[in-house]
Amino acid sequence: MSLNKFDMIVIGTGPGGEGAAMQAAKEGRRVAVFERYNHIGGGCTHWGTIPSKALRFSIYTAMETLNSPFVKSMGLRPHPSLAMLRASARSIITKQESMRQNFYERNQVPVIRGQARFVDPHTVEIDDGTQYKADNFVIAVGSRPFRPDGVDFNHPKIFDSDTILELNDRPHSITIYGAGVIGCEYASMFRNLGIKVNLVNTREKLLEFLDDEIIDALSYHLRDKGILIRHNEQFARIEGHDDGAVLYLESGKQLKTDIVLWANGRSGNVENLGLENIGLTPNKRGHIKVNEQLQTDVEHIYAAGDVIGYPSLASAAYMQGRAAALHACGCVDRCMKVTDIPTGIYTSPEISSIGQTERELTAAKVPYEVGHSQFKSLARAQITGRTVGMLKILFHRESLEILGVHCFGANAAEIIHIGQAIMKQPPPNNTLDYFINTTFNYPTMAEAYRVAALNGYNRVF
């Protein structure tokens, strides 16, 4: 076999690319991955998930410590800079990159540096003119913040969700345009630092894909912290000045703050891939259309991760990459369907959910009931002082099948997986009975499932 001929070529080393490459290698295929940057790991490791979540944790723990009565009684009033708070993220990124490099080496998957561009449906070429052939391809090139025309992102007061991580001086105020997951997460982070926050939403509600009760809880707690939320607004223009930036809205409102963060949408990194040479045309946001098996319109070319659009989660991207690789390897009996993907939203408090919402169940005329557990009633939450939040279980009132789990509060993204595990069981093991009849450690946050299950069961007659 030619040194430049592979069973599978993966373009991109983010979660989607890594999942595809590792799975194909485990299936005994000869795999190569292409990376145009000097570092592996993609946007997840270097510009998105890891650095932003590490920064969030640093802010949360720092402010929790600085606001404790004991620290205040000692007369300590330190003011950590954003550069100091970001320091921990750098070490985590280095560890993540080293670990992932080891994965490729251990599985004998070469990482080829350079921009891969399709020459024909079975050939890609990199910058130096070297060509590589494969039977199958997985496009996992990720995404970047969408930048509208007319906004000067080179201005020192105007940022997007990548460049905001380079901010060194703590501003006194910020306007965030876009109240999706990224906008809400950054609104929470900056407000935890004591910064005044304007959160501008282009829709009627925050995060409309969530359960209405969770949306209401999030809106209440963001406002309770002092975040000013404006709904149903569209931007007209943004002007940068020496002393700040002004966001002009079509409604006539003008918001002036120290900085403006554009957090409204992302675009797939499809430029320079040579998609025109293989007959693929992405949509206006750079997303590539795929079927349930992650195949593009060219059946031996797959796509995974942010480049295919929703849900644009690192967790989903990794599993999509694995699913694509399994299908390409002909593993029909083990093919994965990437469904029931949990949300993980790192606001303060966290939000996580899986399954259907009350709105969806009502529209579908499903006879369901609701079980609640308020965190303020749990001993573990009282011990830790993190009493804000709740766990909500939606279940079929006749079969008791779990239809949805929604969590708002500290560690929600961890807590949700207990409900996920039961929902995924075949009937009759996916019902409320599991939570009612299982002993949970005490005191724990997991105990919320028993409390919510009993609360819901008491509504059934």
Does residue 181 have a known ligand-binding role?
yes
Per-residue model confidence (pLDDT) at position 76: 66
72-113 residue pLDDT tens? 677 666 677 788 888 877 889 999 999 999 999 999 999 999
Instruction: State how far the Cα of 437 lies from the Cα of 223, in Å rounded to an integer.
Output: 39
Assess whether pLDDT exceeds 80 at residue 46.
yes
339-386 residue pLDDT tens? 789 999 999 999 999 999 999 999 999 999 999 999 999 999 999 989
Confidence of residue 128 (pLDDT cuts 50, 70, 90): very high
What number of CA atoms fall less than 13 Å from residue 433's CA on the CB side? 10
Does residue 140 have a known ligand-binding role?
no
381-410 residue pLDDT tens? 999 989 999 999 999 999 999 999 999 999
Does residue 265 have a known ligand-binding role?
yes
Length in residues, the chain: 461
Per-residue model confidence (pLDDT) at position 296: 98
Does residue 184 have a known ligand-binding role?
yes
Instruction: State how far the Cα of 357 lies from the Cα of 446, in Å rounded to an integer.
Output: 21
Confidence of residue 449 (pLDDT cuts 50, 70, 90): very high
Between 333 and 367, name the one with better pLDDT. Answer: 367
Confidence of residue 336 (pLDDT cuts 50, 70, 90): confident
Question: Structural domains in the chain?
Answer: 5-145+267-334 (3.50.50.60), 158-264 (3.50.50.60), 349-457 (3.30.390.30)
Does residue 366 have a known ligand-binding role?
no
Does residue 180 have a known ligand-binding role?
yes
Query: Among residues 391, 387, 367, 365, which one has the least CA distance to residue 377?
Result: 387
Assess whether pLDDT exceeds 60 at residue 223.
yes
Q: How many helices (H) and strands (E) does the chain have?
A: 13, 22
Instruction: State how far the Cα of 83 lies from the Cα of 89, in Å rounded to an integer.
Output: 10
Assess whether pLDDT exceeds 90 at residue 71.
no
Does residue 158 have a known ligand-binding role?
no
Does residue 179 have a known ligand-binding role?
yes
Per-residue model confidence (pLDDT) at position 77: 67
Per-residue model confidence (pLDDT) at position 300: 98
Q: Which two tokens stand for residue 212?
A: 């209405």
Per-residue model confidence (pLDDT) at position 338: 79
Does residue 183 have a known ligand-binding role?
yes
Specify the residue for token string 């002393």. 243
Does residue 238 have a known ligand-binding role?
no
Q: What percent of the chain has pLDDT over 70?
A: 98
Does residue 19 have a known ligand-binding role?
no
